[in-house]
Amino acid sequence: MSKLDFDFYESEDPVWNPALLTIPVPGIRKMVNMAATMDDVIHLSIGQPDAPAPPHVIQAAVDALEAGQTGYTMDAGLPELLDALAEYNGERYGRKISPENILVTTGATEAIYLALTAVSAPGREFIVPDPSFMLYAPLIRMNGGEVKYIPTRAENNHQLDPHEVIDAIDKNTHAIVLNSPSNPTGTVYPRETVEMIVQEAAYRGIYVISDEVYDHLVYDNRDYAGVLSCCSDLDHVMIISSFSKTFSMAGMRIGWLIASQGAIRKLRRYHMFTTTVANTPCQWAGVAALRGDRSFVDGIVETYKKRRDRLVQLVEQTPYLEGYMPEGAFYLFPSLPDGVNGNNVALRLLRETGVCTIPGETFGESCRNALRISYATSIDKIEEAFERIIPWMEKQDFD
């Protein structure tokens, strides 16, 4: 990590808001920054698609630029995109969604930021799976909220036990955070899990905030249980998604949030004081993604499935790694033996083999003996990486 990074994250200079101390040094950035100083690095670290966006999506952004579509849209989003999102989600989940139920954001990251920081406050408790995407806990804590983790394990495919979630609810519980398919585990929650949690939360007046950015990256013809298809109404849910993973539009930064019309009205005001509006030409690209040919999605799902299958085989051949079969996204989160520090293993693996992975502690408290491996790269690169990893692991003594 550079001195600049250290100064930013570790400074206790009183000029900074103390809430910033709740933001950890990001493990992903630390590893990628270190890798940038090295030669011949193979990245199994990056959480973004390796394919370009579909040509008609790129062309739509170019056409919007050439047509002078470079001003602000409405604060809720481009009307044409809101209409397309309402139709798309309504068809997919079999329920009527109005454009007034949707807010277009600067990527799913802003949607997560708005949802969590708008409802967290001192004394409010949030139930969060462990491991989970690194944004959730810091955003909750920045506003004085408390995090109650529900650990999951590789031997159970990192499935979330709905009974554990419900048993963890107490008088201080304000919201439950879900992420299916999961980053970092690739776990897809079965319908009964989502329905049980959503129904119990609605009964108790607790919000469910569901991060569904990998919702199309689901394999083996599995049913995908989005919260929209499991809730009776939108009064206690916020659903977050984006174009980033599904259409390889990560850098275009277009996401959205679906909630009740009352919640969207409040969040629109908050949105205006954060990023004002999302990128206008790229909102037009989003319209093209939804209204145009979607065969691209089927193609990348098949590509990721082949990569996943090969990665699972290679992990099974690797000493000291306990894998499983992830059902979605493009991550595997294998465990090392109990007591082994995954951060040290990831750092040594990078320095000694040139393979960049992400240590498990980036994603929670109960998974310090794990590594996140991304298969958003070619099978050739995955094979080459494990030609280095397996011999290196064979030389270790973790017992």
Domain boundaries along the sequence of the chain: 18-52+296-394, 55-291
Please report the pLDDT score of residue 25 as a whole number.
65
Split at pLDDT 50, 70, 90, the class of 22 is confident
Could you please report the per-residue DSSP string of 195-260? HHHHHHHHHHT-EEEEE-TTTT-B-TT-----GGGT-S-STTEEEEEESTTTTT-GGG-EEEEE--
Split at pLDDT 50, 70, 90, the class of 11 is low
Please report the pLDDT score of residue 303 as a whole number.
98
Could you please report the per-residue DSSP string of 24-78? PPPHHHHHHHHHHTSSS-EES---S-SSPPPHHHHHHHHHHHHTT--S---TT--
Tell me, rounded to whole angstroms, the distance of Cα 11 from its chain centroid.
Answer: 28
Please report the pLDDT score of residue 15 as a whole number.
80
Please report the pLDDT score of residue 268 as a whole number.
97
Q: Where is average pLDDT lowest: 1-10, 110-119, 347-356?
A: 1-10
The mean per-residue pLDDT over the stretch 15-43 comes to 81
Q: Is 126 helix (H, G, I), strand (E, B) or coil?
A: strand
Q: Which of the two residues, 41 and 14, has the higher pLDDT score?
A: 41
Please report the pLDDT score of residue 19 as a whole number.
81
Decide if pLDDT at 87 tops 60: yes
Please say whether the beta carbons of 256 and 240 come within 8 A. Answer: yes
pLDDT tens-digit map of 173-189: 999 999 999 999 999 99
DSSP-based helix, strand, coil % in the chain, nearest 5? 45, 15, 40
Dmax of the chain from CA atoms? 64
Decide if pLDDT at 1 tops 50: no
Please report the pLDDT score of residue 6 as a whole number.
45
Mean pLDDT, rounded, of the chain: 94
pLDDT tens-digit map of 212-236: 999 999 999 999 999 999 999 999 9
Split at pLDDT 50, 70, 90, the class of 28 is confident
The mean per-residue pLDDT over the stretch 106-128 comes to 97
pTM over 0.85: yes
Please report the pLDDT score of residue 8 as a whole number.
46
Residue with tokens 């011999």: 391
Decide if pLDDT at 4 tops 80: no
Decide if pLDDT at 391 tops 60: yes
Q: Give domain 55-291's CATH architecture.
A: 3-Layer(aba) Sandwich (3.40)
CATH of 18-52+296-394, one of 3.40.50.11400, 1.25.40.10, 3.90.1150.10, 1.10.150.130: 3.90.1150.10
The mean per-residue pLDDT over the stretch 359-381 comes to 95
pLDDT tens-digit map of 258-316: 999 999 999 999 999 999 999 999 999 999 999 999 999 999 999 999 999 999 999 99
The mean per-residue pLDDT over the stretch 114-132 comes to 97
Decide if pLDDT at 54 tops 50: yes
Please report the pLDDT score of residue 320 as a whole number.
96
Q: Alpha-carbon distance 240 to 341, whole Å?
A: 33
**What's the burial of 56, exposed, middle or buried (CB within 10 Å: 0-12/13-18/19+)?**
middle
Question: What dihedral angle (degrees, nearest 10) is formed by the CA atoms of 254, 255, 261, 262?
Answer: -100
Single-letter amino acid code for the residue at 105: T
Please report the pLDDT score of residue 27 as a whole number.
67
